[in-house]
């Protein structure tokens, strides 16, 4: 096995609706075909805290795997609009099949990751892409409504709001206001101030849309999270594991 690693940055991956997602591909420098290990995340594939910490990407490549780290739709280098979880099943299926058919792949794809990018595995696997052989989700959830928005029937505002404000909002602001530096700077100042005072806002319910997100101009990115009725699209599948039992 060659000890040289080839890194391809921002490789385009087309989805069925024409939206382009982008991935970094780490692969051995030999001319052989190798299995693929794929992770799809919303936190930035260029941040080594996410791309290299959970599993050591370089060691995986040296062990004979191709490692693909992809920004999900609407995040960082990928095109499209981001809505939490909404596109991950179809996009996951399309990405698995794209990865399996790369010229240096042997057709076998596994997925790995934790938290949100553990759930992208569950949603992709539910769609049964033909070349997906294994998943390795960790520290993730089974039921969005019960595990993420509610805890024992009580809205989990601290968890939800911390996740949105810390992990989601900064890139959304950059994408939305990158053409207007003055507005972007002002919105980032609002964001930093809100982050400092986050506990003060826990009393504001998710159902009211959390006025802060409207002030920042990104409330529409979370419309399905705030739509908590039982017939809302995000909650139609109450349990991912239950859906597996029907396959």
**Within-domain flag for 188:** yes
How large is the average pLDDT for residues 174-196? 94
> For residue 241, what pLDDT band results from cuts at 50, 70 and 90?
low
Q: Provide the pLDDT for residue 197.
A: 85
> For residue 212, what pLDDT band results from cuts at 50, 70 and 90?
confident
Q: Pick from 138, 150, 15: which is nearest to 70 by CA?
A: 15
Q: Provide the pLDDT for residue 2.
A: 59
**Within-domain flag for 240:** no
Q: Which of 12-26, 58-72, 91-105, 222-236 has the lowest mean pLDDT?
A: 222-236
Contact 13, 70 (CB under 8 A): yes
Q: Are residues 58 and 119 in the same domain?
A: yes
Q: Is the pLDDT of residue 208 over 80?
A: no
**Within-domain flag for 245:** no
Q: Are residues 136 and 153 in the same domain?
A: no
**Within-domain flag for 77:** yes
How large is the average pLDDT for residues 169-196? 94
Kindly report the CATH number assigned to the domain that includes residue 126. Answer: 3.40.50.1820
Q: Are residues 37 and 132 in the same domain?
A: yes
Q: Is the pLDDT of residue 227 over 60?
A: no
Q: Are residues 121 and 157 in the same domain?
A: no
Q: Are residues 110 and 14 in the same domain?
A: yes
Domain end position, chosen among 120, 140, 160? 140
Q: Provide the pLDDT for residue 168.
A: 92
Q: Are residues 161 and 185 in the same domain?
A: yes
Q: Which residue has the tokens 């700077």?
A: 185
Q: Is the pLDDT of residue 15 over 90?
A: yes
Owning domain of residue 215: 145-233
Q: Which residue has the tokens 């024992």?
A: 152
Q: Provide the pLDDT for residue 247.
A: 54
> For residue 134, what pLDDT band results from cuts at 50, 70 and 90?
very high
Structure tokens, 192: 């930093």
Q: Are residues 154 and 131 in the same domain?
A: no
Distance, CA of 242 to CA of 221 (rounded, Å)? 27
Distance, CA of 145 to CA of 149 (rounded, Å)? 5
**Within-domain flag for 57:** yes
Q: Are residues 217 and 165 in the same domain?
A: yes
Q: Is the pLDDT of residue 34 over 50?
A: yes
**Within-domain flag for 123:** yes
Q: Are residues 61 and 128 in the same domain?
A: yes
Q: Is the pLDDT of residue 211 over 60?
A: yes
Domain end position, chosen among 110, 140, 170? 140
Structure tokens, 72: 């999900």
Q: Pick from 119, 159, 120: which is nearest to 143 by CA?
A: 119
DSSP characters over the chain = ----EEEEEEEEEE-TTSPEEEEEEEEESSSS-EEEEEEEESS-TT-HHHHTSSS-HHHHHHTT-EEEEEEPTTSTTS-S---TTTTHHHHHHHHHHHHHTSTTEEEEEEEEEETHHHHHHHHHHHT--TTEEEEEEES--S-HIIIIIEETTEE-HHHHHHIIIIIIHHHHHHHHHTT-HHHHHHHHHHHHHHHHTGGGGTTS-TTTT-HHHHHHT-GGGGHHHH--STTSGGGSS--HHHHHHT-
Distance, CA of 107 to CA of 47 (rounded, Å)? 28
Greatest mean pLDDT among 1-15, 66-80, 146-160, 186-200 lies in 66-80
Domain end position, chosen among 102, 123, 140? 140
Q: Are residues 48 and 131 in the same domain?
A: yes
Q: Provide the pLDDT for residue 224.
A: 58
Q: Are residues 108 and 149 in the same domain?
A: no
Q: Is the pLDDT of residue 164 over 90?
A: no
**Within-domain flag for 246:** no
The dihedrals phi and psi of 57, each to the nearest 5 degrees, come to -55, -45
Q: Are residues 87 and 106 in the same domain?
A: yes
Number of domains in the chain: 2
**Within-domain flag for 247:** no
């Amino acid at each position: 096995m060659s000890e040289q690693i080839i890194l391809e940055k921002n490789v385009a991956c087309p989805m069925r609706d024409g939206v382009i997602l982008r991935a970094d591909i780490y692969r051995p420098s030999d001319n052989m075909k190798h299995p693929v290990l794929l992770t799809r995340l919303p936190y930035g594939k260029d941040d080594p805290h996410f791309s290299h910490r959970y599993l050591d990407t370089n060691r995986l490549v040296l062990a004979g795997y191709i490692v693909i780290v992809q920004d999900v739709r609407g995040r960082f280098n990928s095109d499209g609009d981001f809505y939490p979880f909404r596109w991950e099943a179809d996009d996951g299926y399309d990405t698995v099949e794209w990865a399996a058919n790369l010229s240096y792949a042997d057709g076998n794809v596994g997925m790995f990751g934790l938290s949100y990018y553990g759930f992208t595995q569950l949603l992709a696997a539910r769609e049964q892409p033909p070349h997906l052989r294994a998943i390795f989700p960790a520290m993730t959830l089974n039921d969005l409504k019960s595990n993420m928005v509610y805890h024992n029937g009580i809205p989990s505002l601290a968890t939800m709001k911390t996740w949105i404000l810390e992990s989601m909002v900064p890139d959304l602001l950059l994408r939305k206001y990158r053409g207007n530096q003055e507005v972007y700077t002002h919105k980032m100042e609002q964001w930093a101030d809100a982050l400092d005072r986050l506990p003060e806002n826990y009393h504001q319910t998710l159902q009211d849309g959390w006025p802060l997100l409207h002030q920042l101009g990104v409330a529409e990115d979370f419309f399905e999270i705030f739509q908590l009725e039982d017939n809302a699209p995000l909650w139609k599948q109450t349990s991912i594991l239950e859906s597996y039992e029907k396959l």
